[in-house]
Amino acid sequence: MIKVGVIGYGYWGPNLVRNFNEAGSYKVQYVCDQDPKKLTRVGERYPAIKLTSDCDELFNSSDVEAIAIATPVSTHFNLALKALEGGKHVLVEKPLADNSDKCKQLIDAALAQQLVLMVDHTFPYTAAVRRIKKFIDDDFLGDIYYYDSVRVNLGLFQHDVSVIWDLAVHDLSIIEFILKERPVAVSATGMKHFSDQTENIAYLTLFFDSDTIAHIHVNWLAPVKVRQTLIGGSKRMIVYNDLEPTEKIKIYDKGINLHEDATQIQQMRVGYRTGDMWAPNLEGREALRELVEHFARCIEKGEEPITGAESGLNVVCMLEAATDSMQHQGALVKL
């Protein structure tokens, strides 16, 4: 039984506490938050959990083996570093830190202490994204031509990060997980419509050494919530709609066939292929439950984290490059 503490009981913290409490591999020892009202809510629901507004109690406690951090991005580095220096395994809400140098420092600290450092990139633990990865690994889709995602909604505005650090980070973690290659360059454009805020709308394009291209549209000012991704391959294509309650993945046996006309060798002829559509059955298990159980196995059995610190670093490097490009009106930034 892993004794765990959770720092931050805002938007994501309650989900972490619930899943830790129900997973069976953990005992939640502490919840830490600066807001007394939030701590009161914890106490009403989980009377056995110790409550505190002082993070040092968790860092210094011999009753805490692991700490989950669900706080604003700007605080991730200091809290995670103190936890690692206190000998605790660490799970950090996405992204790992607000720049790559801090990520590298956290990686070095975890290696020095031989501790698990994992990032809460939740989508690689969903049944849908795992199935997509298997399709790609098994060459079921063929050569990947494109990854095209729309991730928009009205709010929630973040004050310390732009929309790409809030929403695009999900797609970057998915790309990092499912594709067999990493992007080599990124171009991004965005706009902030309120002077005291960060960019609230952005478009990212990622380039690869192969013919694959990825495009991500994120927006905090959309009138509707959309979570749709198109993945096109040379053999088959996928529509992934995360808001769909049942058929989240739809596979289309559609595409094009290129052939040369015997009478006009220099002219390429395009033939369209239209086949069936089918939706695979997916487990309905909560992704966060898969994540916290995987975190436990990494601690107890030495499994390699699926969303470990190196993966978190790669995602932050992409976010940094996209931010740099956005500040220079879409200039191409190499990774």
Instruction: Report all structural domains of the chain as residue ranges with CATH numbers, in order of start.
Output: 2-115 (3.40.50.720), 124-287+316-334 (3.30.360.10)
In this structure, are residues 274 and 292 in contact, taking their beta carbons and an 8 Å threshold?
A: no
Q: Which residues contact 30 (CB under 8 A, 6 or more apart)?
A: 5, 6, 49, 50, 51, 52, 57, 58, 61, 64
- What amino acid occupies position 30? Y
166-192 average pLDDT score: 97
Give 237-248 pLDDT, tens digit per residue: 999 999 999 999
Strand partners, 255: 273
Give 248-307 pLDDT, tens digit per residue: 999 999 877 766 565 554 555 666 767 789 999 999 899 999 999 999 999 999 999 999
Residue 60 and residue 83: Cα distance in Å, rounded?
A: 9
Residue spans of beta strands (DSSP E) within the chain:
2-7, 26-32, 50-52, 66-69, 89-93, 117-120, 144-154, 185-191, 201-207, 213-219, 221-233, 237-241, 249-261, 264-278, 333-334
- DSSP single-letter state for residue 74: G
In this structure, are residues 20 and 68 in contact, taking their beta carbons and an 8 Å threshold?
A: yes
Residue 62 and residue 201: Cα distance in Å, rounded?
A: 45
SS (H, E, C) 11-39: CCHHHHHHHHHHHCCEEEEEEECCCHHHH
Strand partners, 292: none
Verdict on whether the full-model pTM lies above 0.95: no
What pLDDT, on the 0 to 100 scale, is given for residue 261?
A: 60
Q: Which residue in 55, 63, 21 sits closest to 296, CA to CA?
A: 21
